[in-house]
Amino acid sequence: MNKKALWGLVLSGIFACGSAYAEGTPGHTGKFSPESVEVLEQYVLVRVSQQTAQNLQNVDNCVNRQILAINLESGQKRQEMLSVVLAALTSGQPVAAYISECVPVHWDAASTVPSIETIFLHKK
């Protein structure tokens, strides 16, 4: 087997395992399509429709389910997650995310939103 084919198998295995891992673990949202993205000083906010928010899984403890946050402290990982969200937004492809916790938002001290730990781009 040549090196290109071997690397293709390795990479496809990694992506397949990552997606299966996400769908089978607590904290997985299920597939959704982002409505808009807002870049703030502390977070990148991913907004979803109200209907989508009602169907998200594993965000029950969060007050506001229509906004999902990517923490800006994570450096390169944040940039990569933002790239995935922007690709989904422009292409119309759904994403799924792993939610690690609910985080407070600066505009409303009583409100919390789901914090995205990992995000996956899916085919329709």
Q: State the average pLDDT over residues 46-62.
A: 84
Provide the mean pLDDT of the chain. Answer: 77
Tell me what pLDDT residue 110 has: 72
Q: What is the pLDDT of residue 10?
A: 35
CA distances from 103 to 17, 44, 63, 87, 114 (A): 28, 13, 10, 25, 6
Percentage of the chain beyond pLDDT 90 is 23
Domain range for 99: 3-121
**How many domains does the structure of the chain reveal?**
1
Task: Answer whether residue 16 shows pLDDT above 50.
Answer: no
The predicted model gives 91-118 an average pLDDT of 86
Q: For the domain that residue 87 is a member of, what is the CATH number?
A: 2.40.50.340
Per-residue model confidence as pLDDT tens digits over 35-44: 999 988 878 8
